[in-house]
Amino acid sequence: MKFTLSWLKEHLETDEALDAILDKLTLIGLEVEEVFDPAAALAPFVVGEVIAAEKHPGADKLTLCQVETGKGVVQVVCGAPNARKGLKGVFAPPGAYVPGIDLELKPAKIRGQESHGMLLSERELEISDEHDGIIELPADSVVGSAAAPALGLDDPVVEIAITPNRPDCLGVRGIARDLAAAGIGKLKDDTLKAVEGAFGNPVEVGLKFSGEAKSACPAFAGRLVRGVKNGPSPDWLQRRLRAIGLRPINALADITNYIAYDRGRPLHVYDAGKLKGGVHARLGQEGEEFLALDGETYKVDEEMCVIADDSGVLGLGGVIGGEDTGCGNDTVNVFIESAFFDPIRTAATGRKLNIVSDARFRFERGVDPAFVVPGMELATRLILDICGGEASKVTLAGEPPEANRIIEFNTSQVQRLTGLEMAQVEIKMILTALGFWMSGRGPGYKVSVPSWRPDVSQGADLVEEVIRIVGVDAVEAVPMPRGQGVARPVLTTGQKRVRLARRTLAGLGMVEAVTWSFIARDAAKAFGGGGDALELANPISADLSSMRPSLLPGLVSAAARNQARGFSDVALFEVGQAYRGAEPQDQFIAAAGVRSGSAKASGAGRHWSGAAEPADMFDAKADALGVLDALGFGSKVQTERGAPEWYHPGKSGAFQLGPKTVLAHFGELHPRVLEQLGLEGPICGFEVFLDALPEPRRASRTKPALQSSDLQIVRRDFAFLVDDAAAAGDVIRAAKGAEKELISDVTLFDVFTGTGVPEGKKSLAIEVTLTPRDKTLTDAQIEEVAAGVVAAVAKATGGELRG
Amino acid sequence: MTSSKFEQLERELLDAVAAAGDLVSLDDVRVAALGKKGRVSELMKGLGALPPEERKDFGQAVNGLKERVSEALTRRKGALREAELAARLSTEQADITLPPRARALSEGRVHPVSQVMDEITEIFADMGFAIAEGPDIETDYHNFTALNIPPEHPARQEIDTFYFNEQEDGSRAVLRTHTSPVQIRTMLQTKPPLRIIAPGRVYRIDSDKTHTPMFHQVEGLVIDEETHFGHLKWVLESFCKAFFEVDHVKMRFRASHFPFTEPSMEVDIGYAEVGDEVRIGEGDQWMEVLGCGMVHPNVLRQVGYDPEKVQGFAFGMGIDRIAMLKYGMPDLRDFFAADLRWLRHYGFGVLDVPTLARGMSP
């Protein structure tokens, strides 16, 4: 919503400075978005008078002007045909920047004659396209004074954001009323007077609805003004419209636009000579269409409220008028429409046809239903003043919707909701200034809501009115009551796990990324997603259209982008949500990461102490296990095959609790998937499903006593020959299980194939640690355990002790 | 043997000890003096040949000599060892400027959004707020209708919502446009009193320097029988002081409109720009940081609360935005680009865990 300061002052009597007005607007909820002071751009220019003019001796079309600038007389060479003695114009001194020619002026010699500055045309000032001559200012302009006031361009333009609940402030008068209530001046009396109709309205006005559709247009007022003379509207009106960015059209059209902005009341004018029969509002019919004022032809449907005559649809009620019946310079008889259109239907029509208009903007937010006829009277008055003519009586079809709402309001609610203690009289003063009417003795009142405030319907709304005018500065900050003692912990198990997983992965040298929740559909499909239910209907781009089924595609793409920038050793992770379906329970939290190049936890890239090896699936496995370990599940999981298809089929696995609960996947990613995501592989990754971890059993905080003894521990190495396909994990588990009392640890320290190892076999070497409990182990005991280890491994894997 | 001879022998032996240049020759000196056939040991052998009255004095003199020579040997041995070690170590000079491999702990980074969420959590936990969560894919009811935004409300048109395709029953899920639906979910599940914050991802169709189609918000909600705007003001001031780590903070409450609060306010925070730095609590510029208000009676009714009995406030704040303000990132889009250079530069160390005792920032 835009307006100028002088326009505001037509409704508001105030001496406050512009800045004070702007600050107040912002505080009371009419947020100032922009202030444009046209005078600022015109600051270098002053009123100059040509005190002598003679022909340039060397050029026919040039004039030598002696210009009084207020700071002395200078010579200016001027090419304008209207340059003459006595003319007062806009003088640009040397050093001034002239926007229309994009030039900073310097003293110059033109055909041998000195020229110290310029007399400007409107185009050179960029205030219009006019360039037939230099500007001629009114004779009473003061020489040497700033040019802006003389040009009538010293009226600051203010643009404010209007929240959807305040249709009343889509008119300047509404803004003035708010400011007056907030102590910025006094709202001027409304001078609106009805115009006596000189004759009966010959244009029949009707509402043709049935049943519930009546709400589409409950009231329609019409009146004819005959014998008008249309044409350009007067300067003051054109200037105001131009200042707020509207293009003047002709007086009749300009008047309706003016009232839309002055009062928030959209109107429409028809050239009565082009109407066929009476005018009525009704619902559209399938197949109907009309040519609108914006030059487009619109098809209407049975949900839309149209204005029609005997020939068919003329326009869309509250949205846009028709071209065929619009007013032009030849209009003699004008028919004025002032109606009330249903906000919801108007909004739906505008949305469906994608028409944005000042009328729609106002009707869909709710115009003042009580202003249907007064708006008509205001329009009539302006038309008579500007275009002359004679007005008919007003015809009103239907009734505007009842706007008289009464709220039972106890002023104690102000304190209850805001904490601010206010006198009843103070509250009453504010509400009254805003147009509310309060009756009763207090603190309980009956409050009548003004017709222009559709947003106010209950006590809390009135509290808002009071507090926004008083300002929250008046409210004292009050500490919230605290619980006794130290603040209690608040995080849930899941929230703690997310935080711990994040810091653990960062501690493993990975860098946390936050990537989009939506990805390209193809990428989603490659990771088991991409279903219709998770596809956005209106994505911002095709690359961001599918809710991600996994965090990995986003991370792999991020790694690819870093790779393209020359960073090939990338260790990225993310802890965040992904989606199996569109229901709340389908959303899950994962901690996922990728490592490319040689980005290992022990360091990346070349180094004088030895270059890092490529990161591989065991790095991903270690990362996943690191997270599970931090969360207390590291020693509880078993490693299984069966990672999903976006992993390398041979170099991937899963951590599980039992046969069903998958806690994590890890491995090298499938080369096909990497190609699709534009990454030069290999890359390894993992995903830990934090929601899949069971709630910890509520155990005691006391840790079990440490079992340690000072007796000598014993370490024995074994090398087994097993089939290539045998799992090292099985060997370790078998060895561990061979003697549960004494064997405290088994580590695998060598995997070997090649010389000395038969084809199809591999050698696995383990170190078994025996920890005696109460007395030192004898050789016989040690041998017994060793034999048990060999037997257990043989039984579990068929492995033989290597000779 | 005369005492002068003793003295001469002692001098000779001590000179030999002092002259020994290494441990081997020192041992030779020891053997020559104190060994079985050493000169001191030989002296002792002459003891028996002395008359009894001289034996005591002679014995004492020899023992004294032996002790002093031993002592000199021990001292010399210590000095020689020390010298030998120093000589060896002086040949073992490493190039201490060779760079070691970086440790994982110093390479890892936590994203600024995570860090700021931890900070927010820490501060609000102290004020008794629990953390609530809700899904990103929301029903129209939770995201709009229950929040007093009926289908025809103009506010719906002004929010650029991501929609999913219409279901057979005509319903249509949305990506939540704000964290406010968590208010509804929480209130539907919990009876008052309650104090929660709900941080999380939100989505709007928007993209420029300060807008991305996905960003982060934190919702706050307090419902009980007496919480009013003064409490809201205190909570927000307390938060801003703790978060921005300043003693004073200037806040400006502007009246505004949100369908789910009444009265509604937008809150600006005062700052000064000094070079590239934004200083909170100084200067006279304003930056919008959050929207807030008293929970609308219609919303309370929606969740089965009685607005005559309970009341409270809600607020919503941009997490990325306050992160940018505090830590100086100029462009929101970079938050989600996963550029290693940016993440390393603006990310936080693993052990930079914000706590009230330590303070919020490292």
Instruction: Kindly determine whether residue B233 and residue A561, on different chains, have CB atoms separated by under 8 Å.
Output: no
A215, A352, A423 from A346: Cα distances, Å? 11, 10, 42
The pLDDT value recorded for residue B158 is 65
Nearest chain B Cα distance for residue A404, angstroms:
21
CATH code of residue B240: 3.30.930.10
Q: Which among A459, A479, A509 has the least Cβ separation from residue B104?
A: A509
Q: Choose the CATH number for A205-398 among 3.50.40.10, 1.10.3720.10, 3.30.2040.10, 1.20.1250.20.
A: 3.50.40.10
Query: Residues A722, A798: contact at Cβ < 8 Å?
Result: yes
Cβ-Cβ contacts under 8 Å, B128 against chain A: 480, 482-483, 487-488
Count Cβ–Cβ pairs < 8 Å, chain A vs chain B. Answer: 254
Does one domain contain both B205 and B151? yes
Does one domain contain both B154 and B263? yes
Q: What is the mean pLDDT of chain A?
A: 93
The pLDDT value recorded for residue B155 is 67
Cα-based angle A701, A703, A707 (whole degrees, multiple of 5): 175
Cβ-Cβ contacts under 8 Å, B105 against chain A: 507, 509
Phi/psi zone of residue A77: left (φ > 0), alpha (ψ -120 to 50 degrees), beta? Answer: beta
**Rounded mean pLDDT of A351-356?**
92
Residue corresponding to tokens 């009084």: A68
Short-list A676, A504, A608, A488, CA closest to B350: A504
Model pLDDT for residues A279-304, shown as the tens digit of each residue: 999 999 999 999 999 999 999 999 99
Instruction: Kindly determine whether residue B257 and residue A570, on different chains, have CB atoms separated by under 8 Å.
Output: no
Q: Residue B300 has which token pair?
A: 């309370």
Q: What fold does the segment set A493-692 form as a domain?
A: BirA Bifunctional Protein; domain 2 (3.30.930)
Nearest chain B Cα distance for residue A620, angstroms:
15
A2-37+156-187 has CATH 3.30.1330.200 classification = no
Same fold, A205-398 and A493-692: no
Cβ-Cβ contacts under 8 Å, B177 against chain A: none
Instruction: Kindly determine whether residue A512 and residue B110, on different chains, have CB atoms separated by under 8 Å.
Output: yes
Instruction: Kindly determine whether residue B105 and residue A165, on different chains, have CB atoms separated by under 8 Å.
Output: no
Does one domain contain both B85 and B184? no
B180 lies in some domain:
yes
Does one domain contain both B122 and B250? yes
The pLDDT value recorded for residue B283 is 87
Instruction: Kindly determine whether residue A418 and residue B263, on different chains, have CB atoms separated by under 8 Å.
Output: yes
Instruction: Kindly determine whether residue A29 and residue B98, on different chains, have CB atoms separated by under 8 Å.
Output: no
Residue A745 clears pLDDT 70, i.e. is over it = yes
Instruction: Kindly determine whether residue B233 and residue A609, on different chains, have CB atoms separated by under 8 Å.
Output: no
The pLDDT value recorded for residue B154 is 66
Range of the domain at B34: 3-91
B273 lies in some domain:
yes
Q: What fold does the segment set A40-151 form as a domain?
A: OB fold (Dihydrolipoamide Acetyltransferase, E2P) (2.40.50)
The pLDDT value recorded for residue A503 is 98
Q: Residue B60 has which token pair?
A: 């004492």
SS3 string of B213-247? Answer: CEEEEEEEEEEECCCCHHHHHHHHHHHHHHHHCCC
Model pLDDT for residues A560-574, shown as the tens digit of each residue: 999 999 999 999 999
Q: Which among B108, B163, B266 has the least Cβ separation from residue A511?
A: B108
How confident is chain B (362 residues) per 10-residue block, as mean pLDDT? 78 90 91 87 81 84 88 93 92 92 94 97 95 96 93 73 89 94 96 96 87 95 96 96 94 94 94 87 89 97 96 96 91 95 97 93 82
Does one domain contain both B186 and B248? yes
Instruction: Kindly determine whether residue A587 and residue B109, on different chains, have CB atoms separated by under 8 Å.
Output: no
Does one domain contain both B77 and B123? no
The pLDDT value recorded for residue A222 is 95
Which one of B29, B61, B91 terminates a domain? B91
Does one domain contain both B67 and B204? no
**Rounded mean pLDDT of A140-147?**
89
Instruction: Kindly determine whether residue B205 and residue A540, on different chains, have CB atoms separated by under 8 Å.
Output: yes
Does one domain contain both B329 and B249? yes
Nearest chain B Cα distance for residue A416, angstroms:
7
Q: Is the C-alpha dihedral spanning B230, B234, B237, B240 positive or negative? A: negative
Cβ-Cβ contacts under 8 Å, B133 against chain A: 495
Short-list A235, A238, A201, A175, CA closest to A380: A201
Instruction: Kindly determine whether residue B110 and residue A163, on different chains, have CB atoms separated by under 8 Å.
Output: no
Give the mutation candidate from B162, B169, B194 for the A interface (greatest A CB count, under 10 A): B162
Query: Residues A224, A278: contact at Cβ < 8 Å?
Result: no
Model pLDDT for residues A165-203, shown as the tens digit of each residue: 999 999 999 999 999 999 999 999 987 889 999 999 999
Buried b / exposed e across B306-345, counting CB within 10 Å, b at 16+? ebeebbbbbbbbbbbbbbbbbeebeebebbbbbbbebbee
Instruction: Kindly determine whether residue A582 and residue B137, on different chains, have CB atoms separated by under 8 Å.
Output: yes
**Rounded mean pLDDT of A463-475?**
94
B221 lies in some domain:
yes
In terms of CATH architecture, what is A714-801?
Answer: 2-Layer Sandwich (3.30)
pTM, whole model, 2 decimals?
0.87
Instruction: Kindly determine whether residue B263 and residue A467, on different chains, have CB atoms separated by under 8 Å.
Output: yes
Q: How many domains does chain B have?
A: 2
Cβ-Cβ contacts under 8 Å, B266 against chain A: 31
Instruction: Kindly determine whether residue B152 and residue A347, on different chains, have CB atoms separated by under 8 Å.
Output: yes
Does one domain contain both B144 and B274? yes
Q: Which among B152, B172, B349 has the least Cβ separation from residue A344?
A: B152
A532, A546, A581, B116, B157 from B175: Cα distances, Å? 15, 12, 13, 23, 15
Cα-based angle B257, B262, B264 (whole degrees, multiple of 5): 40
Nearest chain A Cα distance for residue B195, angstroms:
11
Q: Choose the CATH number for A405-474 among 3.40.309.10, 3.90.1150.170, 3.30.56.10, 1.10.150.120.
A: 3.30.56.10
Q: Which among A477, A516, A558 has the least Cβ separation from residue B237?
A: A477
B324 lies in some domain:
yes
Cβ-Cβ contacts under 8 Å, B231 against chain A: 419, 478-480
B246 lies in some domain:
yes
Give the mutation candidate from A215, A367, A464 for the B interface (greatest B CB count, under 10 A): A464
B304 lies in some domain:
yes
Q: Tell how strand B194-203 and strand B130-131 pair up.
A: parallel
Q: Exposed, middle or buried, A384 (CB in 10 Å: 0-12/13-18/19+)?
A: middle
Instruction: Kindly determine whether residue A490 and residue B131, on different chains, have CB atoms separated by under 8 Å.
Output: yes
Cα-based angle B105, B107, B113 (whole degrees, multiple of 5): 95
Compare all CA atoms of chain A with the CA of B134 and give the residue at the minimum distance.
Answer: A584
Does one domain contain both B210 and B339? yes
Number of helices (H) and strands (E), helices first, in chain A? 21, 41
Cα-based angle A570, A571, A573 (whole degrees, multiple of 5): 130
Q: Residue A165 has which token pair?
A: 């609940």
Q: Which among B98, B108, B252 has the least Cβ separation from residue A510?
A: B108
Cα-based angle A503, A506, A510 (whole degrees, multiple of 5): 155
Model pLDDT for residues A604-661, shown as the tens digit of each residue: 999 999 999 999 999 999 999 999 999 999 989 999 998 999 999 999 999 999 999 9
Q: Residue A725 has which token pair?
A: 């396909």
CA–CA gap between residue B34 and residue B28 (Å, rounded):
10
Q: Tell how strand A88-92 and strand A46-55 pair up.
A: antiparallel
Model pLDDT for residues B124-144, shown as the tens digit of each residue: 999 999 999 999 999 999 999
Q: Hey, how many other C-beta atoms are within 10 angstroms of the C-beta on A86?
A: 10
Phi, psi at residue B180, to the nearest 5°?
Answer: -60, -30
Model pLDDT for residues A758-800, shown as the tens digit of each residue: 999 999 999 999 999 888 889 999 999 999 999 999 999 999 9
Give the mutation candidate from B97, B106, B109, B184 for the A interface (greatest A CB count, under 10 A): B109
The pLDDT value recorded for residue A273 is 93
Instruction: Kindly determine whether residue A492 and residue B131, on different chains, have CB atoms separated by under 8 Å.
Output: yes
Instruction: Kindly determine whether residue A502 and residue B114, on different chains, have CB atoms separated by under 8 Å.
Output: yes
CA–CA gap between residue A308 and residue A220 (Å, rounded):
13
Q: Hey, how many other C-beta atoms are within 10 angstroms of the C-beta on A303?
A: 13
CA–CA gap between residue A245 and residue A647 (Å, rounded):
60
Cβ-Cβ contacts under 8 Å, A532 against chain B: 165
Q: Which among A351, A464, A518 has the least Cβ separation from residue B262?
A: A464
CA–CA gap between residue B285 and residue B167 (Å, rounded):
48
Compare all CA atoms of chain B with the CA of A495 and give the residue at the minimum distance.
Answer: B131
The ipTM of this complex is 0.89
Compare all CA atoms of chain A with the CA of B257 and give the residue at the minimum distance.
Answer: A163
Instruction: Kindly determine whether residue A544 and residue B152, on different chains, have CB atoms separated by under 8 Å.
Output: no
Nearest chain B Cα distance for residue A611, angstroms:
10
Helix (H) or strand (E) holding B252: strand B251-258
Does one domain contain both B260 and B191? yes
Residue A708 clears pLDDT 90, i.e. is over it = no
Give the mutation candidate from A360, A480, A495, A552 for the B interface (greatest B CB count, under 10 A): A480
B334 lies in some domain:
yes
Nearest chain A Cα distance for residue B255, angstroms:
4
Cβ-Cβ contacts under 8 Å, B256 against chain A: 29, 31, 163
Give the mutation candidate from A516, A569, A580, A613 for the B interface (greatest B CB count, under 10 A): A516
**Rounded mean pLDDT of A448-464?**
95
Cβ-Cβ contacts under 8 Å, A512 against chain B: 108-111, 114, 343, 347
Instruction: Kindly determine whether residue B137 and residue A540, on different chains, have CB atoms separated by under 8 Å.
Output: no
B361 lies in some domain:
no
Half-sphere exposure for B34 (CA within 13 Å, toward CB):
20
- Look at residue A655 and give its three-state secondary structure: strand
Domain boundaries, chain A: 2-37+156-187, 40-151, 205-398, 405-474, 493-692, 714-801
Instruction: Kindly determine whether residue A505 and residue B108, on different chains, have CB atoms separated by under 8 Å.
Output: yes
Helix (H) or strand (E) holding A268: strand A268-271
Does one domain contain both B135 and B259? yes
Residue corresponding to tokens 């019919």: A285
